[in-house]
Structure 1
Amino acid sequence: MKQPDRIAPEETVGGPTAPTAYRKPNGDSPRTAGDPICLPPGISSARFKTFLLRLAGICGEDNVTAITKEEELHHESYLEPSKCHDMFSIMNKEAFIASAVVSPRHTGEVQAIMRLCNEFEIPVWPFSIGRNVGYGGAAPRVPGSLGMDLGCNMNKIIKVDVDGAYALVEPGVTYFDLHNYLVEHNLRDKLWVDVPDLGGGSVLGNTVERGVGYTPYGDHYMMHCGMEVVLPNGELVRTGMGALPNPKADPNAPAYEQEPNESWQLFNYGFGPYNDGTFTQSSLGVVTKMGVWLMTNPGGYQSYMITFPRDEDLHQIVEIIRPLRVGMVLQNVPTLRHILLDAAVHGDRKSYTDSDKPLTDDEIDAIAKKLNLGRWNFYGALYGPAPVREVMWQVVKGAFSQVPGAKFYFPEDQPDNIVLQTRHNTLQGIPSVTELKWVDWLPNGAHLFFSPIAKVSGDEAVAQYALTRKRCEQAGLDFIGTFVVGMREMHHIVCLVFNRKDPKSCEKAHWVISTLVQDAAERGWGEYRTHIALMDQIAQTYNFNDNAQMKLNERIKNALDPKGILAPGKNGIWPQTYDAKSWAIKRPSLASLR
């Protein structure tokens, strides 16, 4: 076969090859019949068609789809997600779009795909399910990348070990899948799985993006143990104890089929440097298997809600939360939700107001009164035998009773409260999709997440709330958000809801989040996760000591992936084969919104 055309001439500089010209966006290149909507950067139509034929030879024709039709861009449902573009895009639908999507059937095919992409110099963007809503879904940062749909075929629960309280899963296993497995095998009385707000996402995918849930096992990355990873060159590694072969394994079987060491999911670290973090929020490997620790049934459970009547109660509430959380009296990952987040689950904006202006304090108070909720609503749970729960409850209730007007509820006290009933399930590891409803706050609702991290402090909470609400209202949007309290920090999740079919509404959301990123950095707050359109901007705020961390990330990227094949631009890390500046995304101005 003819050798691939080079993307750019190369010369040797200090050993590794380094390009003298770099990949740039395609611009308005002409398309020929059968071409995808967007070709990979620097790749001709003929070359791409040859690549697709070779790809079908690996995975079968049924598992390779070129994105050639505009209809492919009409998938906008969480339950039936797009595999090629961002369903909640704040830019045009072709800003982040795959050229084709491949669905490997096993790890060996993932290895072969990575080798083929290196041969043809095609960028590839792996994803598990495509439901990473609010952060870009399945869309690649570089338009024209090959989307690698790991969840379509690689969806096996390989093992659930009751004694070890863990599961070994492939990327396509959702929270619903794992929970249902426990129920169907009569294991729910022994084991629980921690779940995020929406249960349709990938257990593996959420973990490698460092997502969170709400039981005592809510830090998902903390509760993983052992990964199988395909490196950018197609090489396969198993981390931690997985690097120690199982003496019972068949040495003649392909590496990915070999029975793993029995301690792989029991001890995180193995021997030597700990590599797992390298493969989270990164472009250094494709995770094809992962262990996850399951929570043992605590022997008793009680969820609760506490409502607080005044907006200004926020400071006191957070000051009460901190010592209780650090001291593990608050056993789970509690949430403090603004009234509009709960209100949006109960109904859309039109059910509360005919105004198109941001809701005033008086209007928000009226909504709280109508729903029998507070301006702030706290959701938590107690775990353990009844005597333990009773003691814990007395401490929790006594502490929060210091806030004037605080009211305490168990789920049976408000059977029609959709949010309370949903949180009752979520906090014991039962997945749902009920929380999708808040996205319908506006017509054609979509959302972005702005997610700054701060210490658990009343001053910090009040400052973040004031800033984010101000920016939302400047753009004509309502503030909708929640504080999610970890072991020592708060994730402040601001839910920017916009009308995805209204370009002006999309631009407003883009302005708010890009402005808040800068605002936050100036105050020492950094986001822990973001939408693909904001990755560069946020990465540039983590710039201590002349961008020392980014320089380290780039050195590792270029060493492991010298051609820049795997997820170029992910989280702001651009390989040496790309001209990062030409991929910059323009931020809208406030003046343009008027």
Structure 2
Amino acid sequence: MRTPPGISPTVFATALAEFAAVVGKDWVFSTDEDAALYRDAYSPLQGTSEDRWASAAVAPATAEEVQAVVKIANRHSIPLYAISTGKNLGYGGSAPNYSGSVVVDLKRMNRIIEVNESNCYAIVEPGVSYFDLYNHIQERKLKVWLDVPDPGWGSLVGNALDHGVGHTTSRFRNHFDAHCGMEVVLANGEMLRTGMGAMPNSKTWAQYKMGFGPILDGLFSQSNMGIVTKMGFWLMPQPEAFMHAVVMAPRYDDLHPLVETLKYVENLGIAPGPPELGSPLLGAGGETKSLVDMFFNGPPKMDKQQAALVAGSKLGFSSALQQYGLDNGVPYWSLNLTFYGPAKVIAAQWEAVQDIANAAIKGAKFSNGPILTDAQDAAAKQLIYPQNVGVPNLEFFAFGSRAGGNPQPANGHMWFSPVIPQTAEGIFEANRVFDEATRTIPLLQNLPMFNLRPFSLPSPFHERTFLFILGFPILDDPAVNKSIIAAFRELIRIGAEHGWGEYRTPSIFQDQVMGTYSYNDNMLRRVNETIKDALDPNGILSPGRYGIWPKAMRGVAK
């Protein structure tokens, strides 16, 4: 059995025995084999002494048990690391930032406390997955939809606290923005409820976000200020119908008016569903569904002339390639849109989008699928990407499997995901900058998942910005993984030089990324540290999470 740094075996054994007295001995995991289950399955540090490890884990079943665990940890100075379900693969998994921490595994706290159909909200504990809540809703035939991320096995609470995103309307796609009220265990074991939940017997916990006084909820997202034990979420009313449609633009420079069209129709609420950009001419599908298909079946098939022109293009452009598209009716760009609501409203919205695009893009073309009403049927028949209609699944993990489009899968992946401006200029500049980076970082040229060339289009999950997401593989070779880590760090540095900050990142890069938010001598980090010291003077809660270290560990433990 390993012990946390600076903690004697005797003290640690005492703490574990006290944890067991609270949660039951079957829910304290202290053998090396048990603790190994909490490593990051996608860690690029696997096989090295630097890999992050847990000394033990404890799984409380109630908020009161979490309080007791935290109080015990405080008495014995045991560092804790809280996880909801530990499914944050690609961004650190269930491994602690600070090796030797005891993982507080909240998977047993899986109660769905309330789902209100009339006011469209749910209140859940952190162990509730998207599958759990979806099944609960379906079994009771409630007329509400979830907004789900690509893999549905994760926790609503955990995903929202890590600023995860989904696939329905912008109002629900940003999962932390869609939350309403939370219950938090602080480092001293006391319980805090935010918003309207701070009022005993509140009738509007998950309906009114602000409450009274300062809004504290943000302190507990991407941080280590407390352990969230309950959270409210706004749900989407089940629409009468939905429809997928595509706007197509013929020329390279049409990306400018196409992006402006995207912003206009989304921000006005004319096209409320998830927009996705693609390039049929470059062989880059604009639907997440087509990305999943690509992992199974390989890239879209092109004739030899088109493939040669694409290979010879620079940053996705050549006049010959553009002319090929014009001659053969292959659009340079596509904008995929999803509409929700009454059928007559959908028809009117789509007509308005076509009018707007026609006025902005010479030669724009359009296509649309049928107006559908059954989300489960449409998802099962692949008539629409299931997540776009709130149906969770695990299809996106196809990219980690051995398939026709992925004959040599990696052992895992990491996501480099900076936020860039929501403009065509931003897309072109990001491609130029990161294309140049591949020439100065030779390793990037041959990585199987590094999906920049010939041109990479961003993800429009958030309103008013894009995410420029690039995948890094984790291989079964510590030396290569070391080079991958160095390349990832270099891209973080390059992105920051251009004003593009990561929106989330694997745990091993969180100190570096926090350092890029350095305005006024790293004032953001210094304020976070001040709050951390006030709320958690012993520094026991998730040390180092998101680059926030307690006073005793600053500059020492990484």
Q: Shared fold (TM-score greater than 0.5)?
A: yes
Residues 1:186 and 2:141 are matched in the alignment: yes
1:410 aligns with 369
Residues 352, 491 of structure 1: alpha-carbon distance in 2 compared, 3 angstrom cutoff: closer
Provide Cα deviations, 1:309-347, integer angstroms capped at 9, x if missing partner: 777764443233222222222212323257277665235
1:383 to 337, 340, 350: 340
2:421 to 438, 455, 459: 455
Number of matched pairs: 508
Return the alpha-carbon distance in structure 1 between the equivalents of residues 53 and 331 of structure 2: 42
Return the alpha-carbon distance in structure 1 between the equivalents of residues 291 and 477 of structure 2: 20
The residue correspondences of 1:36-435 to structure 2 (distance < 5 A) are: 36=2, 39-69=3-33, 73=36, 82=37, 84-92=38-46, 95-151=51-107, 153-187=108-142, 190-216=143-169, 217-246=172-201, 261-305=202-246, 314-336=255-277, 339=284, 345-348=292-295, 361-362=310-311, 378-400=335-357, 402=361, 408-410=367-369, 421=382, 423-435=384-396
Question: Which amino acid in structure 2 is aligned with residue 285 of structure 1?
Answer: G
Shift of 1:437: 1.2
1:251 aligns with none
Return the alpha-carbon distance in structure 1 between the equivalents of residues 210 and 30 of structure 2: 41
Given that 1:451 and 1:491 are in contact with CA atoms closer than 8 Å, whether structure 2 keeps it comes out as no
2:437 aligns with 471
Greater shift in the superposed pair: 193-202 or 422-431: 422-431
Residues 386, 350 of structure 1: alpha-carbon distance in 2 compared, 3 angstrom cutoff: closer
Provide Cα deviations, 1:418-448, integer angstroms capped at 9, x if missing partner: 9993853211211111111123444234221
Residues 378, 139 of structure 1: alpha-carbon distance in 2 compared, 3 angstrom cutoff: farther
Residues 319, 350 of structure 1: alpha-carbon distance in 2 compared, 3 angstrom cutoff: same
Residues 167, 350 of structure 1: alpha-carbon distance in 2 compared, 3 angstrom cutoff: closer
Greater shift in the superposed pair: 111-120 or 382-391: 382-391
Given that 1:344 and 1:437 are in contact with CA atoms closer than 8 Å, whether structure 2 keeps it comes out as no
Provide Cα deviations, 1:142-170, integer angstroms capped at 9, x if missing partner: 0111111112x100111111222111100
Greater shift in the superposed pair: 140-149 or 442-451: 442-451
Return the alpha-carbon distance in structure 2 between the equivalents of residues 573 and 503 of structure 1: 28
Aligned to 1:427, the other structure's residue is in SS state helix
Residues 465, 428 of structure 1: alpha-carbon distance in 2 compared, 3 angstrom cutoff: same
TM-score normalised by the chain length of structure 2: 0.83
Return the alpha-carbon distance in structure 2 between the equivalents of residues 182 and 552 of structure 1: 41
1:258 aligns with none
Return the alpha-carbon distance in structure 1 between the equivalents of residues 290 and 117 of structure 2: 40
Residues 422, 226 of structure 1: alpha-carbon distance in 2 compared, 3 angstrom cutoff: farther
Provide Cα deviations, 1:32-76, integer angstroms capped at 9, x if missing partner: xxx13xx3111123322222222111111111112513x865xxx
1:555 aligns with 530
Shift of 1:238: 1.0
1:437 to 392, 398, 401: 398
TM-score normalised by the chain length of structure 1: 0.78
Return the alpha-carbon distance in structure 2 between the equivalents of residues 422 and 46 of structure 1: 60
1:254 aligns with none
Given that 1:496 and 1:509 are in contact with CA atoms closer than 8 Å, whether structure 2 keeps it comes out as no
Given that 2:167 and 2:461 are in contact with CA atoms closer than 8 Å, whether structure 1 keeps it comes out as no
Return the alpha-carbon distance in structure 2 between the equivalents of residues 443 and 155 of structure 1: 33
Residues 564, 51 of structure 1: alpha-carbon distance in 2 compared, 3 angstrom cutoff: same
Aligned to 2:126, the other structure's residue is in SS state coil
Return the alpha-carbon distance in structure 2 between the equivalents of residues 300 and 331 of structure 1: 13
The CA RMSD over aligned residues, in Å, is 3.2
Return the alpha-carbon distance in structure 1 between the equivalents of residues 236 and 187 of structure 2: 33
Return the alpha-carbon distance in structure 1 between the equivalents of residues 106 and 151 of structure 2: 19
1:582 aligns with 556
Return the alpha-carbon distance in structure 2 between the equivalents of residues 200 and 241 of structure 1: 29
Aligned to 1:485, the other structure's residue is in SS state coil
Off by >4 Å, runs of 4+ in structure 1: 305-316, 340-344, 347-353, 363-366, 372-377, 398-401, 403-407, 417-420
Return the alpha-carbon distance in structure 1 between the equivalents of residues 312 and 178 of structure 2: 42
Residues 407, 502 of structure 1: alpha-carbon distance in 2 compared, 3 angstrom cutoff: farther
Question: Which amino acid in structure 2 is aligned with residue 150 of structure 1?
Answer: L
Question: Which amino acid in structure 2 is aligned with residue 421 of structure 1?
Answer: Q
Listed as ranges, the gaps of 5+ residues in structure 1 are 1-34, 74-81, 247-260, 354-358, 585-594
Provide Cα deviations, 1:79-114, integer angstroms capped at 9, x if missing partner: xxx5x1111111125611111111101011100110
Shift of 1:484: 3.0
Question: Which amino acid in structure 2 is aligned with residue 211 of structure 1?
Answer: G
Greater shift in the superposed pair: 201-210 or 296-305: 296-305
Return the alpha-carbon distance in structure 1 between the equivalents of residues 458 and 13 of structure 2: 48
Shift of 1:486: 5.2
Provide Cα deviations, 1:376-418, integer angstroms capped at 9, x if missing partner: 65432111112211121123334556376756353899xxx99
Question: Which amino acid in structure 2 is aligned with residue 395 of structure 1?
Answer: A
Residues 72, 559 of structure 1: alpha-carbon distance in 2 compared, 3 angstrom cutoff: closer
Given that 1:241 and 1:264 are in contact with CA atoms closer than 8 Å, whether structure 2 keeps it comes out as yes
Given that 1:344 and 1:439 are in contact with CA atoms closer than 8 Å, whether structure 2 keeps it comes out as no
Return the alpha-carbon distance in structure 2 between the equivalents of residues 360 and 298 of structure 1: 43
Higher relative contact order (CA 8 A, sep 6+): 2
Listed as ranges, the gaps of 5+ residues in structure 2 are 301-307, 373-377
Given that 2:422 and 2:466 are in contact with CA atoms closer than 8 Å, whether structure 1 keeps it comes out as no
Given that 1:157 and 1:170 are in contact with CA atoms closer than 8 Å, whether structure 2 keeps it comes out as yes
Residues 360, 173 of structure 1: alpha-carbon distance in 2 compared, 3 angstrom cutoff: farther
Given that 1:482 and 1:492 are in contact with CA atoms closer than 8 Å, whether structure 2 keeps it comes out as no
Residues 185, 460 of structure 1: alpha-carbon distance in 2 compared, 3 angstrom cutoff: same
